[in-house]
Every structure is written in structure tokens, then in C-alpha cells.
């Protein structure tokens, strides 16, 4: 019988023999990809908050809202009055019924300085909510851009609904609009040509103003705009990283991007190579990269915006930059989507960028476990037993259950920061997709207060999660005849047993696990990274920092 110490030494010697090589095509493609500014929130488009009579604003397009049954928000009434009832006439003639996202345009209205007035439906006044507000904002934006406007102003943020504040509505609106403008075309000829053009091209929308009801609201609205654009920056960065192909976005590349983010956002960044990880006995993490020519990386990004010495919140992300399944090879169909298996890591990057741009008064450490899972002569095999950094031995029954292997050592590593709470996010299991589909992220936690915080943050941010069980009854499925635990628990409750596996390595702090396998990217015609759960995490951290929505 092989002892734990022998297991560890065999893993080390195998890794030491493995020859690493850089891929020339990766470097060439990465050079092409570097033309776009990561985290761009709309190119040349600029945003600001203004107060004043909307009819007096000089712009190409002025956006106003209407409810069903002819009801109008305050600022829409002011434009209608200035124009001699032009909007009322439109509604009376049946050309606009106020249906959510229905758009009509009026041109050259008397005593209105805007060239066009874009009227967008908000639905029933008592049913307006964040989703309807978002739909209306995006529909109006599309109409404005289709009309060729360079300058626009929107009064939608001044429409009260529910318990929302002016700051929240500006934040939510700015984020929704910037998200709609996101395009990933840096590896297409059109995108490369666009990247070479100077900022402020003559084509397209160049500025958007958010119009508030009075000057007293300006301060809160401007804060909301800063927060909205910071979230947009973080989500764009997350989507960029997730959308980049595996021959560009390697573990080494992620380490380089972290260093760049550290310089631009004031983060302390440390990148561990395989030699340093080996000295830390991070053998389960290294077992995943064993078959790949790409070295693994452990990336630590520290944001110190809170009180000096205060314990941080830790965010941990799974960063499998491509997942073939290893020796337990995946089917070929849709395997290209396994470049998205690092979306947990990308979410850590995006959230760190967001809170740094917000200058959030909180200490946060973001930790990314990055590796590529490939078959090969030195790859980990089903049946191998690896000793983790914690000292527990793990029987590898399936090499495609690799996310929990990189995360378990990383969760142990995270203890050194003495965190007040740890939240990991990972595209971990297809079982979670079966259970919840794409609307909700799966949430598991060993601390109910932390779980409630995250659920509430998701509800506020429109990035919802659903709590799943983490009961002792499921732990026995991980029993192994030969090691302390197996890395899979069988067909039943796959998402739960994966979380149970992680929980064994997160016993020394309040911990939550977000399974984002169903929410991190979309398939089909809209294929691409979604940046979930950046908004949930940002709201969670804002609440921890004492900022109200």
C-alpha cells in the first residue's frame, strides 16, 4: 500500500520531469487580441448626469417614458406641455399604448430643443420594476442608435417606482445600457480595424445624459453613475476574459492580466508558479495541469480599501482555461465551450476591478486557481490518489471533476488571509444546470447568515441565486476504499456532492460556494460569457461596506 508521503513525492517528481513549452500560435493570437482595452464600457460613449427642463436640452434624441392608459411621468408631462401636447396627441391617436419597450419617435417638436423625442413604453405604472425599466432603457437606446444620433439624453431615471432611489436607477440604467453596447469582436477583422480608429469616431452615439428631476438629486445620481459604470467595467472585463479562446487565455495570460489590473487599479498582485505551489504541497491543483504543456498559476489580488489590518472578504475563482476532461475525455460536441470553464476566475477579476473603481471601503482578496486540463503522458489517471495541501488524500475517480481539485487546495491556501468570509464561484457541475437551468446560480453555504447575505444581494442586483442543501447525509457519497475521500459522489445529487467535497476544505471560516455552470455563459446565437455573478458579488460587497442600494 502506498503511503501518503510516497504519493506526494511521486506527484512532485512527475511534475518535475514534465517539460513546459510556450505555444507560438497562442502568442500571435494574444497579440491580436490585445488591441481592445479590456473592460471598455462603450468605447467613445461618455455619460453624465444633468438637471433642468428636459425640453431645453440640446441633443439629437431625448428619451421620455409613458405608462399604459395614457399616464405620463413628471418629466414627460413637461415635454408634452412644452410641445403643445404632441405626446398626448400621439397616445390619443392610438400610435402608442405604453406597452413595455414599445418605441415611437416624434421629430422637430415646437419649443423642444432635441431634434427627436423618443417615447418608450414603461407598462402599467404600478407594475414598473427593475426588469421593465431595463427593457425600456435598452429599447430606447437601440432606437436612438438606429436613428443615427450622436448625442442623447434620457429622463427614464427620474421615474419613481417601488423603493428605488435616484442613485439606484441611474446605476441600474447605466449598467444596462453599457451591457447592451458590449461587443466582442477583437479577433475579427472588423474589430481590429475599429480598435485602430481614434476614440470619438464620427459614427455612432457619442454621449448620453441622465436627466434628473431637480438639482438636489445630482449628487446621489452622480454616485449612482460612478457605481453603474464601475459595474459595467467589471462585467465587460469578465466577459472579455471568458470569451477569449483557450489558446489566448491561458493560466500564464491570466497571471499577466492580473499584473496589469494591479497596476491600473492599485491592487497588490502575487502570481505563484508551479514550483512555488509545489513547495506549498498544492498537489491536487497541480494534478489537474499535469497533462498540459501550459503551467498552472495561482493568482492573488489584494484590494485594501478598508481599515488597515481588518480581515478581508475572500473571493475564490475556478480558472480552468480549457477543460478537455483529461483522461476522462469529454464528448466532442460543444467542447469548444469549455473555454468558459474559467468564468469563475473571470468573475473574480471583474469584481476586483469594480470595487477598486468604486473605491469601496472594504478589504477584499481575490484568489484564482488557473490550470488547463488536458490528456497526456503525464496526466493524472482515474484511480490515482493525490495528497491535498490540507493533508487529506483524494482518490481521482474521474479527471473531469477537476474544478473541485483546483479549488480544494486554493480554499486551504485562503486560510492564511484569516478571512471574515469566503465565497468561491465555479462552473462546477452539469448537475446544477439540470437542477436550476440558467435563471439561477446554485448556492451552498456552511453559514446561513452568509447565505442570506448572498441571496439578498442577488435579489437586489437582479443576479439571483437559489440555496441548495449541504447536509451531512450527502457526505457519505464521497467515501473511498483507498483514500480519505473520492473526487466524485456518483450520479445522484452531483452538484450537492461537489459542494460537499469543497466543504471539507472550508471548515475554518464562513464559506459559500456558487455553482455558476448554468449562468456563466449562453449557448446558441447569443453564445458568450454573461459575467454572472459579478453583479451579485458587487452588491454583496457593497452591503458589507455599508453602502445602501
What are the angstrom distances between the C-alpha of 418 and each of 212, 306, 312, 510? 44, 15, 7, 11
Distance CA 307, CA 363 (A): 7
Nine cell digits for residue 170? 441611474
Q: What is the 3-state secondary structure (H, E, C) of 235-301?
A: HHHHHHHHHCCCCCCCHHHHHHHHHHHHHHHCCEEEEECHHHHHHCCCHHHHHHHCCCCCCCEEEEE
3-state helix, strand, coil in the chain (%, to 5): 45, 20, 40
Would you call 29 helix, strand, or coil by DSSP?
Answer: helix
Got the DSSP string for 145-175?
Answer: HHTT-SEEEE-GGG---TT--HHHHHHHHHH
Give me the long-range contacts of 262-265 (CB less than 8 A, separation at least 24). Answer: 262/301, 265/303, 265/352, 265/353, 265/356, 265/357
Q: What sign results for the dihedral spanned by CA atoms 191, 196, 199, 203?
A: negative
104 DSSP β-pair partners: 119
**Residue of 300, 259, 298 whose CA lies nearest to 38:** 259
Nine cell digits for residue 156? 427614464
Q: In the 8-state DSSP scheme, what is residue 244?
A: S
Q: Are 95 and 178 in contact (CB under 8 A)?
A: no
Q: Are 320 and 447 in contact (CB under 8 A)?
A: no
Would you call 502 helix, strand, or coil by DSSP?
Answer: helix
CB atoms within 10 A of CB 471: 10
402-370-348 Cα angle (round to 5): 110
Q: Which residues fall within 8 angstroms of residue 354, CB to CB, at 6 or more apart?
A: 230, 231, 233, 234, 235, 534, 538
Nine cell digits for residue 441? 446560480
> Looking up cell 470619438, which residue turns up?
200
**Catalytic (active-site) positions:** 330, 404
Would you call 316 helix, strand, or coil by DSSP?
Answer: strand
Distance CA 204, CA 206 (A): 6
Nine cell digits for residue 289? 495541469
Q: Are 527 and 437 in contact (CB under 8 A)?
A: no
Q: Are 384 and 288 in contact (CB under 8 A)?
A: no
Phi, psi of 224 (to 5 degrees): -60, -40
Distance CA 6, CA 412 (A): 21
Would you call 352 helix, strand, or coil by DSSP?
Answer: helix
348 DSSP β-pair partners: none
Amino acid at each position: 500500500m502506498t503511503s501518503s508521503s510516497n504519493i506526494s513525492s511521486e506527484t512532485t517528481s512527475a511534475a518535475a520531469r514534465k517539460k513546459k513549452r510556450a505555444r507560438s500560435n497562442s502568442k500571435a493570437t494574444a497579440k491580436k487580441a490585445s488591441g481592445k482595452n479590456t473592460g471598455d464600457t462603450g468605447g467613445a460613449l461618455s455619460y453624465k448626469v444633468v438637471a433642468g427642463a428636459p425640453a431645453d436640452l440640446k441633443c439629437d434624441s431625448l428619451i421620455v417614458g409613458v405608462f399604459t392608459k395614457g399616464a405620463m411621468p413628471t418629466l414627460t408631462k413637461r415635454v408634452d406641455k412644452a410641445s403643445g401636447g404632441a405626446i398626448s396627441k400621439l397616445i390619443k391617436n392610438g400610435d402608442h399604448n405604453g406597452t413595455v419597450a414599445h418605441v415611437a419617435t416624434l421629430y422637430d417638436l415646437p419649443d423642444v430643443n432635441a431634434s427627436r423625442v423618443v417615447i418608450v413604453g414603461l407598462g402599467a405604472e404600478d407594475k414598473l420594476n427593475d426588469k421593465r425599466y431595463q427593457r425600456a432603457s435598452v429599447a430606447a437606446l437601440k432606437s436612438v442608435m438606429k436613428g443615427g444620433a450622436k448625442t442623447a439624453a434620457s429622463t427614464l431615471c427620474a421615474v419613481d417606482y417601488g423603493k428605488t432611489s435616484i442613485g439606484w436607477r441611474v446605476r441600474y440604467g447605466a449598467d444596462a445600457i453599457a451591457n447592451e453596447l458590449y461587443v466582442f469582436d477583437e479577433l475579427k477583422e472588423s474589430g481590429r480595424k475599429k480598435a485602430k480608429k481614434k476614440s470619438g469616431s464620427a459614427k455612432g452615439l457619442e454621449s448620453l445624459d441622465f436627466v434628473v428631476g431637480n438639482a438636489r438629486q445630482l449628487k446621489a445620481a452622480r454616485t449612482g453613475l460612478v457605481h453603474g459604470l464601475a459595474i459595467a467595467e467589471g462585467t465587460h472585463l469578465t466577459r472579455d476574459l471568458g470569451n477569449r479562446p483557450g489558446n489566448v487565455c491561458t493560466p500564464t495570460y491570466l497571471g499577466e492580466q492580473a499584473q496589469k489590473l494591479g497596476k491600473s487599479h492599485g491592487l497588490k498582485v502575487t502570481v505563484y508558479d508551479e514550483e512555488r505551489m509545489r513547495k506549498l504541497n498544492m498537489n491536487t491543483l497541480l494534478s489537474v495541469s499535469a497533462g498540459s504543456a501550459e503551467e498552472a498559476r495561482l493568482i492573488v489580488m489584494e484590494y485594501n480599501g478598508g481599515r488597515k489590518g481588518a480581515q478581508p472578504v475572500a473571493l475564490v475563482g475556478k480558472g480552468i482555461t480549457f477543460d478537455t476532461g483529461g483522461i476522462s475525455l469529454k464528448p466532442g460536441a460543444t467542447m469548444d465551450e469549455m473555454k468558459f470553464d474559467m468564468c469563475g476566475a473571470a468573475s473574480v477579476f471583474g469584481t476586483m476591478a469594480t470595487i477598486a473603481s468604486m473605491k469601496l471601503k472594504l478589504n477584499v482578496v481575490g484568489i484564482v486557481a488557473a490550470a488547463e486540463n488536458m490528456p497526456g503522458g503525464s496526466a493524472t489517471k482515474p484511480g490515482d490518489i493525490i495528497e491535498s495541501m490540507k493533508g487529506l488524500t483524494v482518490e481521482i475517480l474521474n479527471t473531469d471533476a477537476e474544478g473541485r481539485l483546483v479549488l480544494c487546495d486554493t480554499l486551504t491556501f485562503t486560510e492564511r488571509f484569516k478571512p471574515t468570509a469566503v465565497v468561491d464561484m465555479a462552473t462546477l457541475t452539469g448537475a446544477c444546470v439540470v437542477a436550476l437551468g440558467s435563471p439561477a446560480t446554485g448556492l451552498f453555504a456552511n453559514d446561513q447568515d452568509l447565505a442570506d447575505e448572498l441571496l439578498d444581494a442577488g435579489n437586489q442586483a437582479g443576479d439571483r441565486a437559489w440555496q441548495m442543501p449541504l447536509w451531512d447525509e450527502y457526505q457519505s457519497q464521497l467515501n473511498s476504499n483507498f483514500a480519505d475521500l473520492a473526487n466524485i459522489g456518483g450520479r445522484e445529487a452531483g452538484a450537492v456532492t461537489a459542494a460537499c467535497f469543497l466543504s471539507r476544505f472550508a471548515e475554518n471560516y464562513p464559506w459559500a460556494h456558487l455553482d455558476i455552470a448554468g449562468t456563466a455563459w449562453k449557448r446558441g446565437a447569443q453564445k458568450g460569457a454573461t459575467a454572472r455573478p459579478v453583479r451579485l458579488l458587487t452588491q454583496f460587497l457593497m452591503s458589507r461596506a455599508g453602502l445602501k442600494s
